[in-house]
Structure 1
Amino acid sequence: MTIYSLYIYDRHCACVYYQDWHRTKQPKRAGEGGILNAVSQAVSPLTPDGAAPTPSAFTSPRNTLSSTTGLVVAIGEDPPVQDPVEHARSSTLPFDEEAKLVYGVILSLRNMVKKLSGRDEQFTSYRTSTYRLHLYETVSGYKFVMLSDAATEGLRFVLRQIYNGPFLDFVVRNPLVPMDSQVQGIDNDYFRASIDRLIRGLSVFN
């Protein structure tokens, strides 16, 4: 059992935060204007000069802001790839498209559950053969979405912990973090480090 990634969406349906742990295929960087600024250094668009955004000060035993996976490149007709990480990402969706797909699945399944089961039922998770999606929605419209291994039990309580702990402490009560700006994501290293510490402390993390 393991945890793959965490997405946070605001009430405007925009992804304002992203963090991953055990993903083997990283998403490609989002296109310019595809996501809000400062959602994650790992998926933010490249700057106009082609360089990666300034790295965050956040560090951990395994840096979650950059991929550490290697890639063996076969010699063939194509020219050698200079950046294996970017080459590995080229076979996956850009992050802005991935974030839209995740939100679309949540919206569709939530509406289906409401129509089939009535207003008392809530959509909290679903499972496929390869992963399980967990959802926690706040009264203010923020949606916390976590992807984990298919064998993992419900992690809604973990998402509630993230909301009641790090989110309230470092985002809601922080006057320097703009809420509902529709321009800026959650750019707070303390928030990111606190989530990383919380997730790594779970028994299902490994």
Structure 2
Amino acid sequence: MTIYCLYIFDRHCNCVYYHDWHRTKRPRRADEGGGLLLGVSHAISPLPSSAPNSTPETPFTSPRNTLSTGSGVLVAYSGDSIQSQQSTAQSALPLLQTQGAGAPSVVTPSTSSPGLPFDEEAKLVYGRLSGRDESFVSYRTSTYKLHLFETVSGYRFVMLSDPNAESLRFVMRSIYTGPFLEYVVRNPLALMDSRERGIDNEYFRASVDRLIRGLSVFQ
């Protein structure tokens, strides 16, 4: 089983945290003024307008340059209407193809189609949750499986994996009861529910990274 990435959304539908592991190509940085909160992830935050070609310094020390060349995923369309939405989704997102024994791999488009910026990608991910009933916990397409865990306070943990994965709700619950409560809820410097800033910080990111890499199912 391959775990691709984790999104955390607050009760205002804002993406407040992002972390990836097995994506062959990280999403484009968000467009400045596109609505992405600060403190979600340095890897996908907008570059400062004063230095568009520079890479911002990051205090995070956990290893994140772990993208492999044989796997990866990007949300493209809902499994409920895969046939009707396939052409529209593929025109907006990097294409997906299957290699080997069904492992999805991102096919990088030409330079004229560089893929969506992260703020648009996050909207697509959250949009796949809209209209679902309260018992919804996951759905599967031919290229990925989306897992959902929602807290009583309205935070939604969304994890993407390969389509053959078992439920990952126990993983997201472990993140919530462990690193999230320890380094976000109990952190006096964390601005929860601020609608202005995400929850990313060095200890939370490093702890989530260790937890995921320590799983027996992690590849």
Assess same fold via TM > 0.5: yes
Please report how far the alpha carbon of residue 68 of structure 1 lies from its aligned counterpart in structure 2 after TM superposition: 7.8
Instruction: List aligned pairs for 1:108-127, cutoff 5 A.
Output: 108=131, 110=132, 114=133, 122-127=135-140
TM-score (norm 1): 0.80
Q: For the residues of structure 2 that align with 1:133 and 1:58, how far apart are their CA atoms?
A: 28
Matching residue of 1:4: 4
Instruction: List aligned pairs for 1:1-206, cutoff 5 A.
Output: 1-34=1-34, 35-48=36-49, 49-50=51-52, 51-60=54-63, 63=65, 91-108=114-131, 110=132, 114=133, 122-206=135-219
Q: For the residues of structure 2 that align with 1:30 and 1:10, how far apart are their CA atoms?
A: 18
Please report how far the alpha carbon of residue 134 of structure 1 lies from its aligned counterpart in structure 2 after TM superposition: 0.3
Q: Spell out structure 1 runs of 4+ moving beyond 2 A.
A: none
Name the SS of the counterpart of 2:130 in structure 1: helix
Q: For the residues of structure 1 that align with 2:68 and 2:199, how far apart are their CA atoms?
A: 24
Query: Any conservation in 2 of the 1:11–1:140 contact (CA below 8 Å)?
Result: yes
Q: For the residues of structure 1 that align with 2:48 and 2:56, how far apart are their CA atoms?
A: 6
Please report how far the alpha carbon of residue 39 of structure 1 lies from its aligned counterpart in structure 2 after TM superposition: 0.5
Aligned-partner residue type, residue 65 of structure 2: N
Name the SS of the counterpart of 1:134 in structure 2: strand
Aligned-partner residue type, residue 138 of structure 1: T
Query: Which of these two proteins has the greater Rg computed from alpha carbons?
Result: 1
Q: For the residues of structure 2 that align with 1:31 and 1:129, how far apart are their CA atoms?
A: 30
Alpha-carbon RMSD: 2.1
Name the SS of the counterpart of 1:171 in structure 2: helix
Aligned-partner residue type, residue 99 of structure 1: A
Name the SS of the counterpart of 1:106 in structure 2: coil
Which segments of 5 or more consecutive residues in structure 2 lack a partner in the other structure?
Answer: 70-109
Matching residue of 1:118: none
Q: Percent identity?
A: 67
Aligned-partner residue type, residue 38 of structure 2: N
Q: Deviations over 1:4-23 (max 9, x none)?
A: 00000001100000000000
Query: Any conservation in 2 of the 1:131–1:150 contact (CA below 8 Å)?
Result: yes
